Chain A
Amino acid sequence: MSGKKIASIALASLFLLPSLTALSGCNRGGEIVLRVYNWEEYIDEGGKGAFIYDELHLEDGEESDIVDDGYRAWYEETMRTPLSEDGPAILDDFCLWYEAEYGQKIRVEYSTFGTNEDMYNEIVLGNEYDLLCPSDYMIMKLAAEGRLERYDDGRDENGEPDGSYDFFDPALPNNYYVRNVSPFIAEKFANNAGLEVRNDENGKPITWQDYAAGYMWGTTGFVYNPNPTDRAGNPILFKDADGETTDLGTLLASIGWEAFTEPQFKGKVTAKDNVRDTYFAALGVKYQEELLTLTQQFAGGSLDKQGYTDKITGIFNATDEKTISEVEPVLMDIKKNIYGWETDTGKADMVKGNVYLNYAWSGDAVYALDLGEDAEDEDGYIELNYYVPEAGSNLWFDGWVMPKGANKQAAQAFVNFLSMPQNAMRNSYYIGYTSVIAGEEQEMLAYADYLYGEEESEDDFYDLSYFFGAETGTVGIYADEAQRTCRQLYAQFPTPDVIERCAVMDYYDEQASVRINELWSRVKAETLDAWAIVVISVSVLAIAAFIVVAKFGGKIDFFRAKPKKGYKLVKQETVR
C-alpha cells in the first residue's frame, strides 16, 4: 500500500470518529439519554451513608423520625416501586419516575468534574451534555458567552405567552423547582447579574434565573480546631494582640482573614490550591480594615444594604493591576506561612491534627466536623468548629444549566425531580452541602430540626426565616449554642448577618484572567535568586559541554592532540 493510501485512510477515520461518537449520544430505540455533568461526589449515590439506607438501618431497632410511613408512601407513589432496603440511588429513581411520568424510557449518562475550569474546557472542546452544574461565576461566564439554553418560560421571542411549557409556572404539577425553591435563593437568582450588566443576543440583560436553577449554596470560611494540643497532650495556648493568653477561637475571631499570615499559625493553616479561592482570601487579608469599616458603617446606618453589598462585592472582585500588585506580596506571605495548598486533603489533615485551620467551603466544613465527631481519641472525639470572617467572605451558589443543544425537556424534568424536598434531603444528607430547596410546606425546616434540633427553649431559637421567606423571628429551630454559633447548623444555614457580609464571585474578563493567571503562576513558582539561576545554568551547561566533548571530542580535530613529528594524522574510523 502506498503512503498516499495510508494517509487517506487515516484522514477518513479522522472524519469518521466524531460521527461515531455523535451517534451514541442520541435517541436510540425509544430510549432518551440524559447526559449530566456534575461535581465529584455531589449527588446521593445510595447505599450505606445515604439518607434512606441510614434511616432504614438505625441502631437498636429505633424507629426513624423521617423515613416513616409517610416517606415510604411518598417514595412508593413517586417511583412506583417498593422502597428497597439497600438504599436506592437518586439517579436510578429519576429514571423510574421519568418513565412513569412521561411514558418514555430514559437513561442517565452521569460524569463528574473536579473544577469549574475543567468543566469549561470540556464544553469549549465540544463535548455535549444536557445538564451541567457550574458555580456562580462560571454560570455567568457561560451565559455571557452564549453557550447556554434558557429555561423555558412559556414565551416566544417577543416575550409574548405562547402556551408552551413554562418552567416557572407553579400550577403545573411537575414544576417542583419553582414551588420548592427558597424565596431567598429565587431572589438571588432573579436579581444577580454580576458586577456589571451583561446582555444576551437580544439585548436583554442576563440574570442567573434565565439560565440556571439552583442546586446547592453556602459560604467559605475557616474550619478550626478550638483546642489544639501538642504531642504530650498539653493544650497549645496563643497570645492575642495585647500579649494576653487566649485560645484559638478567640484569636481567630480577632484576626479574621489574617489567620493566613499569623505567625502563631505558621505551618498550621492550609489554603486552597486554586487561584479563585486563594485570590479571594488574599483580598480578604489585604483589605480587611476597609471591609470592617464598611461593616460598621452598615451597622451604624450610614450605608444602606445595597450600597454595602455593592462595595464588598467590588472589593472581593477587584482584578485591576493596582490591586494585583498590592495583593501579590500578601499571597507570598500566605505561601510562606501555610502548611500547604490543598484540594481535598484538608479535612483529613484537620482530623489528624496536622493543621489547626483549614480554609474550606461550608459543605466540606460540615463533612470535616462530622469526621471529627466520628474520630475517636482520649477525649471522646475531636471537636472542630467553623468560622466565617467578621470582615465578610464568599457566598456561593451552584446551579444547573443547559448547554446549547441540550434536551431541555428531560433536563428540566431532572432539575424538578431533584427539587422535591424529599430528594433535596437525600442529596443534602449525602454530600453535606445545603440545598437551595426550602419546600412548599417548609419541609426542609423539619430536616434541619431533625439534624440539629434540641428541646424547645426561648433562648435557643435559631432564626431561619430569611431562607423560608417568612417574617423575621417566625421560622426557625431550637438548637444548642455550639450549633448556633460555630458548628454544623451554622455552617449549613448561615445566619442573616453572615449572608449580609458575604460577596458573590463574578467572572474575570479576558485581560483580568491573564493577569490573575500570571499572578498565580508567580505565586506557585519556585523562586530562585538570580545568582542561583546563573550558577545552576552554568553548571548544567558545563556538564552538557563535558558530555559533548567526551562523546564527539575524538572525532573533531580541534580536540585531538597534534601528531608527533614524523607521524601522520589519520581518520579514527580507519584505525578502528
Chain B
Amino acid sequence: MKIPHFSRKTLCIPYAVFLIFFVIIPMLVIVFYAFTDKNMHISLGNFIRFFSDPTKLSTIVYSLVIALITTVICLLIAYPVAYILARSKMKRKFVILLLFVLPMWINFVLRVNALRELFNLLSSLQGMDWLASSNYFKTVFGMVYDFLPFMILPIYTTMLKIDPSLYEASRDLGAGAATTFLRITVPLSMPGIMSGVTMVFLPSMTNYVVSDMLGNAKVTIIGKFIYEYFGTDWHMGSMVALVLLVVVFVSTWLTGGFSSEENVRGANL
C-alpha cells in the first residue's frame, strides 16, 4: 500500500481555506459595507458622518481612556505578582499562579453577574451609596478583574525565561537591586509586558458585556456602539468596526506586535 504523501504545501490547504473564509472574506465584507450606502452604492457618507460627529469621536476617545486605565491597573497589579512568583523559591508556587488563573476557567458571564450582585450588596451598606451610581468605576473594576490573568501569565512566562546568572553577573559588577531591576528585569520582560498589554487593551475596548452589566449600560464603549449599529445600520456599524481595526493596528504596530524578532512574541499565550 502506498503511503499518501503530504507535501508542505498540501498541509497548508486547511489553514489557507480557514484564512480565506474566516479572515479575508469577512474583512473585505466589512470594508465593502463601510464604504457603501443603503443601496449598495459606493459612498463616503459613513466616513464623513463618523468623523464629523463629535459624539462618536468622544465615544472612541472615552473607550480608549477606559481601556488605558484598565491596562495600566492590570500592569501595576500583575507585574509584582509575576516578579515575585518567578523569582521566589517557593515549593508550590504553581498553586498561587493557579489561584490567579483559576477564575478564567469559570464562565465569564457568571463571574460578571456575581460581581454585579456583590456591588449591589456593597452599595446597600452604610456610606456606600456612591457605588450604586459610579458606573465607570464598576466597569473598570470588572474589566481589571476579568483580564488580569491575561496580563499575569505572559509576564510570568517571560520572567521565568530570564537566566538567573544575569542577575548574579549584574550583582558581581556592582549593580544594586534597583539597577538590576531596571537594567535587567524590565528590559528582558518587555516582550511579556507588550503581549499582556495587547491582550488586555483590546478586549477592554470591545467587551461590552462588562460595561452593560456592571455599568447598567450607561457606559458606552466602542464595542457596544458597533453592536447597536449592527441592529439597524450595517454600513455605519462596519465603519465603526473599521475605525477600531485601524486603532488596533496602529497600537499593535507601535508596541512591536508585528516584529519578527523571535523573543518578542515568544511570550504570547
A interface, CB within 8 angstroms of B: 1, 6, 9-10, 13-14, 115, 117-118, 121, 231, 267, 270, 273, 275, 335, 338-342, 345, 352-354, 510, 513-514, 517-518, 520-522, 524-528, 530, 532-533, 536-537, 540, 544, 547-548, 551
Minimum Cβ distance to chain B for residue A126 (Å): 14
Main secondary structure of the interface of B (DSSP, over half): helix
Minimum Cβ distance to chain A for residue B162 (Å): 22
With A231-B126, A340-B215, A533-B54 in contact, do A528 and B61 touch (Cβ < 8 Å)? yes
B216 touches A9 (CB 8 A): no
* Neighbouring B residues of A342 by C-beta, 8 Å: 216-217
Partner of B56, one of A525, A532, A540: A525
Instruction: Name the residue of chain B whose CB is nearest to the CB of A11.
Output: B20
Known A521-B56, A521-B229; further 19 A-B contacts with Cβ < 8 A: A1-B9, A9-B13, A9-B17, A10-B20, A10-B21, A117-B231, A231-B124, A267-B132, A339-B216, A341-B217, A342-B216, A354-B120, A521-B55, A524-B228, A526-B63, A528-B58, A533-B54, A548-B254, A551-B256
Partner of B231, one of A121, A530, A532, A548: A121
Instruction: Name the residue of chain B whose CB is nearest to the CB of A354.
Output: B120
B228 touches A521 (CB 8 A): yes
Partner of A524, one of B10, B20, B220, B250: B220
A-B contacts, 17 of them at CB < 8 A, read A1-B10, A6-B16, A9-B17, A231-B124, A267-B132, A341-B217, A352-B120, A510-B38, A517-B233, A524-B220, A524-B224, A525-B56, A525-B59, A526-B220, A528-B62, A533-B57, A544-B250
Minimum Cβ distance to chain A for residue B233 (Å): 5
In the bound complex, CA of A345 to CA of B113 (Å) = 11
In the bound complex, CA of A78 to CA of B67 (Å) = 59
Tally of B interface residues using CB under 8 Å = 51
A527 touches B55 (CB 8 A): yes
* Neighbouring A residues of B13 by C-beta, 8 Å: 1, 6, 9
Minimum Cβ distance to chain A for residue B243 (Å): 14
* Neighbouring A residues of B232 by C-beta, 8 Å: 117, 275, 513, 517
* Neighbouring B residues of A121 by C-beta, 8 Å: 230-231, 234
* Neighbouring B residues of A340 by C-beta, 8 Å: 135, 215-218
Q: Is B255 on the interface with A (CB-CB < 8 A)? A: yes
List the 6 closest pairs (A to B, CB-CB), nearest first.
A340-B216, A525-B55, A528-B58, A526-B62, A341-B217, A117-B231
Minimum Cβ distance to chain A for residue B253 (Å): 10
In the bound complex, CA of A530 to CA of B56 (Å) = 13
Instruction: Name the residue of chain B whose CB is nearest to the CB of A534.
Output: B61
Q: Is B160 on the interface with A (CB-CB < 8 A)? A: no
Minimum Cβ distance to chain B for residue A164 (Å): 38
Q: Is B65 on the interface with A (CB-CB < 8 A)? A: yes
* Neighbouring A residues of B135 by C-beta, 8 Å: 340
Minimum Cβ distance to chain A for residue B213 (Å): 8
With A117-B231, A339-B216 in contact, do A524 and B254 touch (Cβ < 8 Å)? no
Q: Is B83 on the interface with A (CB-CB < 8 A)? A: no
Instruction: Name the residue of chain B whose CB is nearest to the CB of A7.
Output: B20
* Neighbouring A residues of B64 by C-beta, 8 Å: 536, 540
Minimum Cβ distance to chain B for residue A274 (Å): 8
A10 touches B10 (CB 8 A): no
Most buried by B among A1, A338, A525: A525
* Neighbouring B residues of A231 by C-beta, 8 Å: 124-126
Minimum Cβ distance to chain B for residue A446 (Å): 40
Q: Is B225 on the interface with A (CB-CB < 8 A)? A: yes
Interface positions of B from 182 to 205, Cβ below 8 Å from A = none
Most buried by B among A9, A354, A528: A528
* Neighbouring A residues of B224 by C-beta, 8 Å: 524
* Neighbouring A residues of B49 by C-beta, 8 Å: 518
In the bound complex, CA of A514 to CA of B59 (Å) = 19
* Neighbouring A residues of B263 by C-beta, 8 Å: none
Most buried by A among B132, B219, B224: B132
Partner of B233, one of A335, A341, A352, A514: A514
In the bound complex, CA of A248 to CA of B64 (Å) = 41
Instruction: Name the residue of chain A whose CB is nearest to the CB of B120.
Output: A354
In the bound complex, CA of A510 to CA of B120 (Å) = 41
Minimum Cβ distance to chain A for residue B115 (Å): 14
Partner of B229, one of A14, A517, A522, A532: A517
Partner of B254, one of A13, A115, A521, A547: A547
Minimum Cβ distance to chain B for residue A304 (Å): 37
* Neighbouring A residues of B54 by C-beta, 8 Å: 528, 530, 533
B254 touches A544 (CB 8 A): yes
* Neighbouring A residues of B120 by C-beta, 8 Å: 352, 354
* Neighbouring A residues of B212 by C-beta, 8 Å: 273
Minimum Cβ distance to chain A for residue B225 (Å): 7
* Neighbouring A residues of B59 by C-beta, 8 Å: 525-526
In the bound complex, CA of A547 to CA of B62 (Å) = 21
* Neighbouring B residues of A118 by C-beta, 8 Å: 231
* Neighbouring B residues of A115 by C-beta, 8 Å: 231
Most buried by B among A267, A338, A524: A524
Most buried by A among B20, B56, B231: B231
Instruction: Name the residue of chain A whose CB is nearest to the CB of B215.
Output: A340
With A533-B57, A536-B65 in contact, do A525 and B220 touch (Cβ < 8 Å)? yes
Partner of A520, one of B56, B217, B228: B228
Interface positions of B from 212 to 251, Cβ below 8 Å from A = 212-213, 215-220, 224-225, 228-234, 236, 250
* Neighbouring A residues of B53 by C-beta, 8 Å: 518, 522
In the bound complex, CA of A10 to CA of B14 (Å) = 10
* Neighbouring B residues of A521 by C-beta, 8 Å: 55-56, 225, 228-229
Partner of A525, one of B58, B124, B230: B58
* Neighbouring B residues of A524 by C-beta, 8 Å: 220, 224-225, 228
In the bound complex, CA of A136 to CA of B16 (Å) = 46
Most buried by A among B125, B228, B234, B236: B228
A533 touches B233 (CB 8 A): no
* Neighbouring B residues of A14 by C-beta, 8 Å: 21
* Neighbouring B residues of A352 by C-beta, 8 Å: 120
Minimum Cβ distance to chain B for residue A525 (Å): 4
B225 touches A354 (CB 8 A): no
Q: Is B179 on the interface with A (CB-CB < 8 A)? A: no
In the bound complex, CA of A117 to CA of B233 (Å) = 10
In the bound complex, CA of A72 to CA of B139 (Å) = 53
In the bound complex, CA of A161 to CA of B251 (Å) = 69
Most buried by B among A10, A335, A521, A532: A521
Minimum Cβ distance to chain B for residue A129 (Å): 19
A273 touches B217 (CB 8 A): yes
Partner of A536, one of B10, B61, B124, B215: B61
In the bound complex, CA of A353 to CA of B125 (Å) = 13
Instruction: Name the residue of chain A whose CB is nearest to the CB of B66.
Output: A526
A341 touches B218 (CB 8 A): yes
In the bound complex, CA of A96 to CA of B163 (Å) = 71
Minimum Cβ distance to chain B for residue A388 (Å): 25
* Neighbouring A residues of B216 by C-beta, 8 Å: 270, 339-342
Q: Is B133 on the interface with A (CB-CB < 8 A)? A: yes
Interface positions of B from 5 to 35, Cβ below 8 Å from A = 7, 9-10, 13, 16-17, 20-21
With A510-B38, A521-B55, A533-B54 in contact, do A10 and B215 touch (Cβ < 8 Å)? no
With A335-B218, A521-B225 in contact, do A13 and B255 touch (Cβ < 8 Å)? no
